[in-house]
Amino acid sequence: MDISPAFLGLGAVLLFFGAGVFLLGINKKWGVLFPYMGMLLFASLSMPLDWNDRVIPTVWLPVQQKRSTLFFIMGIVTLLMTLFQIGRLRGKAISISALMLVTMGFYAALMRFMHEGALEGTNSVIFAACTLIPMMFVTALSIKEPTDLLLFLRSVVLMNIAWMAMCSVQLVVNPKYLTLGNQFRFVGVLNNPQHSGAMLAFFCVIVLWLLFNDVSKKYKLIYLGLLSVDLLCLVWTGSRTGLGMAIIGLCAVLYTKAGKGILMVPVAAVVIYVGMKLIVNTLGIDFGVERLASTENTRDYAWWKLYTTGMENPMFGVGTLESEKSENSWLFGFAAFGIGMLGLSILFTLAAMWECIRMIRMRFWLPGWMRPYPDLLVGMITMYFAGAVLEGYMVSRVNTTLCIYLPVATAGAMFRKFAKQYHESGYDEYDSDSDSTAEGGYISDEYGDEYADYTESE
């Protein structure tokens, strides 16, 4: 498909702007977040196909066709920024589960030598090196103190806004291309309502957490509006997987904010209902939301097929192209790449569980103002594995869940380190809630110099 002059011009402007921001951010802790946002954005696009694998001519088709290439380019830029800032990694904690997920990516790349040939295998190894490795270091580079996690979360929100803006353009040009199938399930600028649902679940949880915990009050209205739109689109996908993931994450976020959270439920519900009615009445679009209440089992055959495929080829699998189904990450890895990938994915899961248990235990060593941070991280990691039971994204090379898990897992390692520092300082002997403020927090004078005044970091 020919690329229009408008897209070329827009690309040139964005390239010039991106080069300037890259240079400005070389010595800044937010610098690595800029190319990371590009990776996350391009991972949130995909080739728009209908159920019969026919290309859907969306307005963003030229970009969607090149999403893997653009993702790879932004990975290289992120890797370059990581190399420029490698000194910031000194003394930083790295997640074992993140390392395991990166190892799984390289194992899959090596298996492609067997399934798809030397050229594809070499390309896959290079692709993994330039994308997985820098994503693992994003939060290690950008977090120096606890509230620096806000920088990462805001970068995800900016990408969320950009994705919604792309959907809005498509809504104006041709709204029917935002949905798929006879049930008119929302896909946005992805091509699968399940993938859109999983991504929107993470967006909802992050935005809600920021609504309650961001120290900058000026963003509250933005977060409230964005949360309403995200929830609307999540329901519109009809994805039971996405809804279940969102409920898990929202419960984690509301763990320490239940009083305020309850007040937001009716507000969000009213906004979602009004939004649906407006879209239905104005654009004539129907919703497939009745599927959310369905008890139909759509996974048992897929799981059986993946299991039997894996058992027929237990050592090396059959490759991703021949696996046919992908509705479970562990079974998909087994069917595609054999017993080695299954073993790695089980070890990855156990490592993540161990890290979450440690984080839950250590959160009680933290002052009250800091406890919502590990609550969010544990919730998002749990969401990831809950969705992996029903979707095969664990072994995928380009997807939003991958882009979110690696930085989040490393952020969890950083917060476990912060908790250990508090514990070793003897701070846990005091009532942490009485020594903290609602915004940023402070520590009593006896322990104040080293850990005091964690305020918003720009």
351-399 pLDDT, tens digit per residue, is: 999 999 999 888 888 888 888 999 999 999 999 999 999 898 998 888 9
Q: Which tokens sit at 76?
A: 């290289």
Q: Please state the rounded mean pLDDT for residues 415-428.
A: 76
**Region 411-431: what's the mean pLDDT?**
74
- What three-state secondary structure class fits 49? strand
* C-alpha span between 28 and 220 (Å, rounded): 26
- The helix/strand count (H/E) of the chain reads as 18, 2
pTM: 0.84
Written as one string, the DSSP assignment of 285-305 is ----GGGGG-----SHHHHHH
Predicted pLDDT of residue 145: 87
How far is Cα 81 from Cα 77, in angstroms, rounded to an integer? 6
What value does the mean pLDDT of the chain take? Answer: 82
Q: What does the pLDDT read at residue 458?
A: 33
Buried residues in 278-296 as b, exposed as e (16+ CB within 10 A) = ebeeeeebebbbebbeeee
User: Which one-letter amino acid corresponds to residue 210?
Assistant: L
pLDDT value for 166: 95
96 half-sphere exposure, CB direction, 13 A CA radius: 13
- pLDDT of 330 over the 70 cut: yes
293 vs 349: which has the higher pLDDT: 349
pLDDT tens digits, residue range 4-48? Answer: 666 566 666 666 666 666 667 677 888 899 999 999 999 999 988
Amino acid 66 reads K
Please state, in angstroms and rounded to a whole number, the distance separating the CA atoms of residues 457 and 32: 15
Positive or negative torsion for Cα 209, 213, 215, 218: positive
